[in-house]
């Protein structure tokens, strides 16, 4: 039996593919596959997801879009010098980095780009389709890890770049993950197309540090009946995301997710704000400080302060790998629409679900149970569904859904019980193609450019691929 039958490969198409997060994702995946490092931080590598039929890390193929031209091996050298990547790892996986870099295509729109929005969407979708066909991929997940965009100004304004990429993912028949607070699939135009497509999607804004703590501490205060009077925070960060978030409009989009967590877990929004300061000297590292004022028994006033210091790319990369694997498997299993069970990973999750991290984790584990194939051996099921040795399945086929007996969402829900939040809708025997009659406007936003090497002297323009 050929390897291509028993172990079909899955594409991971990264928007912002030459940024810090994307580079860490590709480097980390290769290092774990080679046995150089353990999969620390990857929830999908824990026993709860054994048998869920997730694609193996060794079966992921990387490509993407970016407006930068800095090669991934060079970016990895910069991250190594900054302490983000361990010494020697980038050199050890240089071949894998170079292979991924060859699959990166020019993004947009860039200054002077005269293409209409419709033309950009078509070009991006063609890039993704070509990638999937050349590598004979079973399916591809598009993941946005680009810099944070300002919130759209209002109706009639050009579609943001993140939404152009989201529409291209749908056009190419791909599932989609928005790891950023940018509009992406949340834009009304994209939301309509997503519903028509019947494709699964997840987002938005990865929960990696300060908000992760808030999702734990908020329920603690509520469950202990402690009245939170004020909750203020400060973020100090550098890199491309620090520069991007120096824009008040971009910072407002970022802070909206942080505030939602408090509102959902506490039942009210306490006094206080979150301030984000760009400190270029910090590079890819960030410090998040929270000051929480609360009342105890008999109105005794107390204070809790937390300090989170971490490397944003190293925090984000394992989550991106988790999301790519889970979303690809959900697509294979026939799940459609917003994957609310993936709210565990996001500040502002799609669909309906709890805000408490503990409850979100239970929902995620429940999804893992629902994704388990009948018979328990996904490789054997895939091989059986493929029919004959040497056969090839076109991208987007649900090979195991027919004959192999993948459990449908309704059957699985009974097995999971109350552990799963949200409702996943299972598609019919055939997948509906995305609507290709999208009529776009001519004007397009422009993404900032960035030099390959980081500038130490002061603030710089944010890179499309670089985010916190």
Q: Where are the alpha helices (DSSP H) in 138-209?
A: 161-171, 188-197
The answer to whether 178 touches 184, Cβ cutoff 8 Å, is yes
Beta strands in 379-453 (DSSP E): 425-426
Tell me which range, 4-8, 345-349, 388-392, 458-462, is most confidently predicted by mean pLDDT.
345-349
- Give the model's confidence band at 413: pLDDT under 50 very low, under 70 low, under 90 confident, else very high: very low
pLDDT of residue 284 exceeding 90: no
Pairing of strands 60-66, 104-106: parallel
Q: Poorest-confidence range of 7-21, 258-272, 285-299? A: 258-272
The answer to whether 263 touches 231, Cβ cutoff 8 Å, is no
DSSP letter for 268, please: S
pLDDT of residue 208 exceeding 70: yes
Higher pLDDT, 274 or 35: 35
Best CA proximity match to 334, nearest among 251, 417, 393, 396: 396
Q: What is the mean pLDDT of residues 439-443?
A: 38
The answer to whether 366 touches 409, Cβ cutoff 8 Å, is no
The answer to whether 253 touches 150, Cβ cutoff 8 Å, is yes
370-385 tens-digit pLDDT:
999 976 555 544 544 4
Residue 257's pLDDT is: 63
Bridge partners, residue 105, by sequence: 65
Structure tokens at 337: 């629409």
**Interatomic CA distance for residues 105 and 42, integer angstroms:** 28
Q: What is the mean pLDDT of residues 401-430?
A: 35
296-316 tens-digit pLDDT:
999 999 999 999 999 999 999
Structure tokens at 335: 């799940």
CB atoms within 10 A of CB 317: 26
Q: Poorest-confidence range of 241-250, 299-308, 381-390? A: 381-390
Report the half-sphere exposure of 89 (CA within 13 A, side-chain side). 27
pLDDT of residue 392 exceeding 90: no
**Interatomic CA distance for residues 80 and 277, integer angstroms:** 24
The answer to whether 334 touches 426, Cβ cutoff 8 Å, is yes
**Burial of 461 per CB tally in 10 Å (0-12, 13-18, 19+):** middle
316-336 tens-digit pLDDT:
999 999 999 999 999 999 999
**Interatomic CA distance for residues 117 and 59, integer angstroms:** 33
pLDDT of residue 457 exceeding 50: no
The mean predicted confidence, pLDDT, of the chain is 82
Percent of the chain exceeding pLDDT 90 equals: 64
pLDDT of residue 116 exceeding 60: yes
Best CA proximity match to 124, nearest among 164, 71, 160, 92: 164
pTM reported for the whole predicted model: 0.78
Q: Where are the alpha helices (DSSP H) in 209-356?
A: 210-223, 239-244, 248-266, 312-332
């Amino acid at each position: 039996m050929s390897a291509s039958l028993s172990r079909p490969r899955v594409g991971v198409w990264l928007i912002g593919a030459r940024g810090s997060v994307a580079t860490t994702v590709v480097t980390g995946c290769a290092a774990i596959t080679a046995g150089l490092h353990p999969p620390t931080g990857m929830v999908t590598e824990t026993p709860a997801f054994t048998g869920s039929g997730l694609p193996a890390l060794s079966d992921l193929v990387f490509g993407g879009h970016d407006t930068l031209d800095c090669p991934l091996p060079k970016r990895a050298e910069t991250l190594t010098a900054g302490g983000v990547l361990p010494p020697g790892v980038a050199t050890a996986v240089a071949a894998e980095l170079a292979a991924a870099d060859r699959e990166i295509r020019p993004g947009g729109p860039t200054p002077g780009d005269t293409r209409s929005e419709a033309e950009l969407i078509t070009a991006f979708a063609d890039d993704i389709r070509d990638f999937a066909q050349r590598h004979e991929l079973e399916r591809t997940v598009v993941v946005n890890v680009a810099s944070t965009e300002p919130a759209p100004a209002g109706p009639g304004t050009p579609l943001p770049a993140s939404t152009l990429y989201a529409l291209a993912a749908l056009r190419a028949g791909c599932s989609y993950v928005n790891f950023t607070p940018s509009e992406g699939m949340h834009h009304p135009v994209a939301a309509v197309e997503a519903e028509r497509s019947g494709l699964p999607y997840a987002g938005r804004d990865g929960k990696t540090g300060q908000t992760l703590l808030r999702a734990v501490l908020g329920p603690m205060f509520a469950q202990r009946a402690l009245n939170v009077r004020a909750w203020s925070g400060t973020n100090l960060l550098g890199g491309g995301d620090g520069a991007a978030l120096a824009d008040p409009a971009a910072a407002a989009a970022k802070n909206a997710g942080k505030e939602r967590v408090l509102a959902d877990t506490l039942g009210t929004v306490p006094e206080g704000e979150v301030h984000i300061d760009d400190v270029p000297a910090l590079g890819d590292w960030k410090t998040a400080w929270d000051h929480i004022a609360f009342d105890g028994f008999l109105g005794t006033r107390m204070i809790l302060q937390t300090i989170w210091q971490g490397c944003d790319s190293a925090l984000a990369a394992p989550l991106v790998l988790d999301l790519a694997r889970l979303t690809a498997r959900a697509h294979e299993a026939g799940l459609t629409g917003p994957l609310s069970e993936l709210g565990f990973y996001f500040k502002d999750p799609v669909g309906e679900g709890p805000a408490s991290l503990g409850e979100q984790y239970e929902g995620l584990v429940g999804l893992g149970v629902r994704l388990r194939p009948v018979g328990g051996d996904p490789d054997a099921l895939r091989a059986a569904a493929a029919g004959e040795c040497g056969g090839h399945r076109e991208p987007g086929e649900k090979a195991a859904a027919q004959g192999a007996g993948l459990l449908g969402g309704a059957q699985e829900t009974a097995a999971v019980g109350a552990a799963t939040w949200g409702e996943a809708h299972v598609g019919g025997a055939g997948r509906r193609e995305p609507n290709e009659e999208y009529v776009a406007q001519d004007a397009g936003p422009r993404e900032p450019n960035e030099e390959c090497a980081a500038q130490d002297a002061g603030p710089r323009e944010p890179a499309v691929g670089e985010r916190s």
